[in-house]
A = this chain, B = another copy of it.
Amino acid sequence: MNLKEDIKKVKQASIQLQGTSIENRNKALEEIIKALLEHKEEILEENHKDMELAIENNIEKAVLGRLKFDEKKLQDVITGIQDLIKMKDPLFQTQLARELDEGLKLYKETCPIGVIGVIFEARPDALIQISTLCIKSGNCIILKGGSEAMKTNKILFQIIQNAICLANLPKDSMMLLEARSEINELLTCHESVDLLIPRGSNSFVQYIMNNTKIPVMGHADGICHIYVDKKADISKVIPIVVDAKTQYVSACNTVETLLIHKDIMHEVIKDLKIALEEKKVEIRASKDICELIECNELSDQDYETEYLDYILAIKTVESVEEAIHHINYYGSHHTDCIITEDMQAVDVFMKMVDSANVYHNCSTRFADGYRYGFGAEVGISTSKLHARGPVGLEGLLSYKYKIFGSGQTVTDYASGNKTFHFKDITI
């Protein structure tokens, strides 16, 4: 079997897939739900084997947590697929309709990207989410999951592939890579693959970006900031910072650097230290802060580090402008937040911070497809490039997501204390 030839077949299938009706694509999603329930026992059994091997190999606990696929996770992905079925067809949506002249009409219409390669961590639920998002949007998918989940991924893939065939979608719409060595061959298939989405460590994503001609979507670093403005409501600071740092310490949208306005620093730093210590967070701070509380002094290197750990860099700044400059200079254009009651400072911060997600008074951990009401996500992108066809004004734009909160933390939503209600509003 020649991998390149197999991938070419996926490309050919993508032409068929992009013409399928929403009825077909939704039917495929329904068949997937049916098949997942029918084969539940086999899936759990294969996952059990993966788990046993992982424990034998002393895989770290956090990875084991992601690798485990139990009834609860199965129910969650099924709920996710049910939500996806309810969403309206994203394809063939008209974004512009213009008569150029008598009998000459121009339409701008959505269509699939084509063939998408996703390389993801050892999370079997991610395989299902990514596959179903791609099916709904008419994209073919080449999957490579973490090797620890090999057996679980294999059975899930077979079940999903069989299910889409029952809905008359082409079998070659999906492909599973099993060996890590196949990634390098995938990287050379720029004639067949339209997009790569690598998820994983900075060095892994960098490796992918530097070794392929295929466009890569995603993010390497996630160096996120919270800026505590001089007009911050102090009662919001500690819950937001603690949530953003500790709710899930190894996520890309976890805060790594806290910037505090010098005028408010004295009022918050001691309580903040106590709250962070309770969660076992190490503070690395600028010299002026080290004179107030016991902590290690940071170096410039810290500003460029994605800790993915219980460590937080803290620095004082003189103004919102200095905070913005620091974030644009050291940040990774991922997710950054201002805590303040001064709406003018919010406006400046949100306009000037050049990041995909800019927030007011809430945790950076909200940067997530599910929490935005997208159902699921294939990843988070810090890319800005996106135009096709003649590139006029609109093609010279990117967009950013802004959230205006009032102190919300992700912990409350993760624990079930609060639930999202996702209501589209008119402005």
A425 in complex: contacting residue of B98, B210, B378, B404, CB < 8 Å: B98
Closest beta carbon of chain B to A64's beta carbon, Å: 26
Chain A residues numbered 41-68 whose CB sits less than 8 Å from any CB in chain B: none
Complex interface: chain B residues within 8 A of A34 (CB):
none
In the assembled complex, the Cα of A392 lies from the Cα of B87 at a distance in Å of: 12
Q: How many identical subunits does the complex contain?
A: 2
Closest beta carbon of chain B to A365's beta carbon, Å: 12
| Contact A98:B373 (CB < 8 A) given known A90-B397, A398-B112, A406-B104 | yes
Closest beta carbon of chain B to A300's beta carbon, Å: 16
| Total number of A residues with any Cβ neighbor in B under 8 Å | 106
Stretch from A266-274, A288-296, A414-422 forming part of the interface with B: A414-422
Does A128 touch B at the CB level, under 8 Å? no
The answer to whether A352 and B19 have CB atoms under 8 Å apart is: yes
The answer to whether A356 and B137 have CB atoms under 8 Å apart is: no
Please classify the interface of chain A as helix (H, G, I), strand (E, B), loop, or mixed, using the class held by over half of its residues: mixed
Stretch from A160-168, A278-286, A380-388 forming part of the interface with B: A380-388
> Among the interface residues A96, A380, A397, A402, which one has the most CB atoms of the partner chain B within 10 A?
A397
The answer to whether B133 and A99 have CB atoms under 8 Å apart is: no
The answer to whether B351 and A19 have CB atoms under 8 Å apart is: yes
In the assembled complex, the Cα of A405 lies from the Cα of B92 at a distance in Å of: 19
Instruction: Write the chain B residue with the least CB distance to A392.
Output: B374
Closest beta carbon of chain B to A292's beta carbon, Å: 31
A1-29: CB near B (< 8 Å → 1, else 0) gives 00000000000001100110000000000
Complex interface: chain B residues within 8 A of A351 (CB):
18-19, 92, 111
> Among the interface residues A392, A400, A422, which one has the most CB atoms of the partner chain B within 10 A?
A392
A137 in complex: contacting residue of B94, B113, B378, B393, CB < 8 Å: B393
The answer to whether B18 and A420 have CB atoms under 8 Å apart is: no
A389 in complex: contacting residue of B103, B111, B381, CB < 8 Å: B381
Complex interface: chain B residues within 8 A of A31 (CB):
none
| Contact A387:B95 (CB < 8 A) given known A111-B400, A396-B139, A402-B106 | no
- Ranked 4 nearest A-B pairs via Cβ: A386-B386, A374-B392, A369-B390, A103-B406
Interface, chain A (partner B; CB < 8 A): 14-15, 18-19, 84, 87, 90-92, 94-114, 116, 133-134, 136-137, 139, 194-195, 197, 209-210, 213, 215, 217, 324-325, 328, 348, 351-352, 354, 356-357, 362, 366-369, 371-406, 408, 413, 418-427
17 contacts between A and B (CB under 8 A): A19-B351, A19-B352, A98-B372, A98-B425, A99-B422, A100-B420, A101-B408, A104-B404, A106-B401, A137-B396, A139-B396, A217-B391, A369-B392, A372-B389, A380-B391, A385-B385, A386-B386
Given contacts A101-B420, A105-B404, 13 further A-B contacts (CB under 8 A): A84-B393, A87-B393, A104-B362, A104-B404, A110-B397, A111-B399, A112-B396, A209-B213, A215-B215, A379-B391, A381-B391, A384-B388, A390-B401
